[in-house]
Chains A and B, each alone.
Chain A
Amino acid sequence: MIPACSVTDLPPGESVRIQADVPIAVFNADGDLYAIDDTCSHQDASLSDGWLEGCFVECPLHAALFDLRTGMPSCLPAKKPVRTHMVLVHDGYIYVDTSAHERVPEHTAEPVRASEAVA
């Protein structure tokens, strides 16, 4: 479990990059928290620098669009998905669980509300 930041430091529309075995991007998409691999699957770019729109993030380099719920790209130039990770909130702090490395395309990550406390 990797600590990311305090819930108050990640208001809606914001993102943060944290270092795990690989860099991970955590997003607050209108109150829902998501974590995905930070490096775009197309070419070297940091998705935490990208443009957040609904539950999609647009890569800041070539505008590839990724679904934060599944990690799947929805348009070229990206072809491969990025991994999604479980997000937990405890005592007002955001944590990312990278152990599961969810990468099942059909799977839709259940968003964690930024306002929820998970024991």
Chain B
Amino acid sequence: MRTVTVVGASLAGLNSVQQLRHQGFDGRIVVVGDEPYRPYDRPPLSKAFLAGRARVDDLWLCDASEQDELEAEWLLGVRAEQLDPAAGRVRLSNETEIDTDGVVIATGGRASRVPGTEDMRGVHTVRTIEDAIALRADLTNGVENVVVVGAGWIGAEIASTCHELGLSVTLLEASEVPLSRTLGDAMGSVFAALHTDHGVRLRCGERVGGFTHVNDGNGRRVTGVWLADGTQLPADVVVMGVGIRPAADWLAGSGITVSDGVVCDPGCVTELPSVVAVGDVARYRTTNGGTVRHEHWTNAAEQSATAIRNLLAGATIEHYRPSGYVWSDQYGVRLQVAGELAQPDEVEVIDGSPSDRRFVVAYRQGGETVGVLAMNNPKLFTRMRKQLAKRVTSA
């Protein structure tokens, strides 16, 4: 393998380049990045950066000299538009082509939004630096009412940041308890209380019916949100935190299966041994026959070690084992999660108390701890996370 093209220049892309060099690949590496920025960290976009406590310069994942040491060619502000595996070629939006032996798909995803709001000012998503800059400009422009759609991790963090900025916030959630699918109803309720105790109006079981807007000299601008039951909420700014759509359209015609992500084997390898997928875009098969895709920082950071090992070996010699580590900061509270929390037999508070917002909860299956959730208790959490990691490795 002489040339590897990494498509996507964010966390998963950068980690793939680092892993290529770390694992001894000394050929040519070309990195293609849709955004004009070098690799940056997205988690602060909904927190410190949006709040104005971090600047763009705080977001870079590596400094210029570290980037130089990787001896890769960085094509930024350019999109990959087509993959032709037979010819070993990636076609780019600037009409050029890269001849390549291996491809790492790290294209992430695009934030989903309600159709018809693309050109409505005041309606935002948060995925990129530019998204966050535009939202911050709107939030600090004398507005009053913000409606956040979706009380998952990103929506909750944005609601918290808007609250920090002194705005009046309504948070809409389609399910009856926020985060219940991930954490279960009991723990989801703890997070619901975090919002309401800070004066954020949380409305669960609500779906957006539509938007009201005015037409001013610059086009349409949002003024409110209609709920499915007809209620109208005033909104100067609306933020959608309703997930992402994996950015895999460019693979059409390549022969690689795309189904809500790039479908790959348990080692992140696609149908073609010379093409692997990592990060938010990768949907890999699990040992129990299903498929899973993660939209988390840690996954994007960890997955490339396995994917690159398999790419360089030309075969799947290692399976990916996620740590399932997720963190979030909301209302000054630090939340950490690791392992599997989806279907426990038993959930037990093993330290502190949810009412004090300092606790650790063990999620158990068949008497064994399979997941851990903590609020404001990083020390015990980390200890338990390490034990879980050992269990995963030895499994």
Looking at the assembled complex, report how far the CB atom of B153 sits from the nearest CB atom of chain A, in whole angstroms. Answer: 15
Partner of B382, one of A44, A49, A77: A49
B63 within 8 A of A: yes
Which of A43, A49, A76 sits near B378, CB closer than 8 Å?
A49
* A residues less than 8 Å from B327 (CB atoms): 61-62
* The one of B44, B48, B63, B381 that contacts A60, using a Cβ cutoff of 8 Å: B381
Q: For residue A77, which residues in chain B have a CB less than 8 angstroms away from its CB?
A: 41, 61, 301
Residues on A with C-beta less than 8 A from B382 are 49-51, 58, 60
Do the beta carbons of A60 and B378 come within 8 Å of each other?
A: yes
**Complex Cα gap A81–B136 (Å):** 30
Are the CB atoms of B44 and A76 closer together than 8 Å?
A: no
Interface membership of A79, Cβ < 8 A: yes
Task: Assess whether A45 is interfacial by the CB under 8 Å rule.
Answer: yes
Interface string of B44-56 (1 = CB under 8 A from A): 1000100000000
* A6 CB within 8 Å of chain B: no
Q: Does A74 contact B (CB under 8 A)?
A: no
Residues from chain B with a CB closer than 8 A to the CB of A79 are 62-63, 66
| Contact (Cβ within 8 A) A61 B62 | no
Q: How far is the CA of A43 from the CA of B45 in the complex (A)?
A: 13
Q: Contact partner of A45 among B63, B378, B386, CB < 8 A?
A: B378
User: Which residue of B48, B66, B386 contacts A51 across the interface (Cβ within 8 Å)?
Assistant: B386
Residue in B66, B378, B386 whose CB lies within 8 Å of A61: B378
Q: Which residues from chain B contact A46 at a C-beta distance below 8 Å?
A: 378
Q: Which residues of A contact B (CB under 8 A)?
A: 43-46, 48-51, 58, 60-62, 76-77, 79
27 contacts between A and B (CB under 8 A): A43-B44, A43-B48, A45-B378, A46-B378, A48-B379, A49-B378, A49-B379, A49-B382, A50-B378, A50-B382, A51-B383, A51-B386, A60-B378, A60-B381, A60-B382, A61-B327, A61-B334, A61-B378, A62-B297, A76-B15, A76-B18, A76-B61, A76-B62, A76-B301, A77-B301, A79-B63, A79-B66
Q: Give B residues with C-beta under 8 Å from A.
A: 15, 18, 41, 44, 48, 61-63, 66, 297, 301, 327, 334, 336, 378-379, 381-383, 386
**Interface contacts beyond A58-B382, A61-B334, A79-B66: sample of 14 additional A-B pairs, CB < 8 Å, sorted by A:** A43-B44, A45-B378, A46-B378, A50-B378, A50-B382, A51-B383, A51-B386, A60-B378, A60-B381, A61-B378, A76-B62, A76-B301, A77-B41, A79-B63
Cβ-closest 5 pairs across A and B: A60-B378, A49-B378, A49-B379, A60-B382, A51-B382
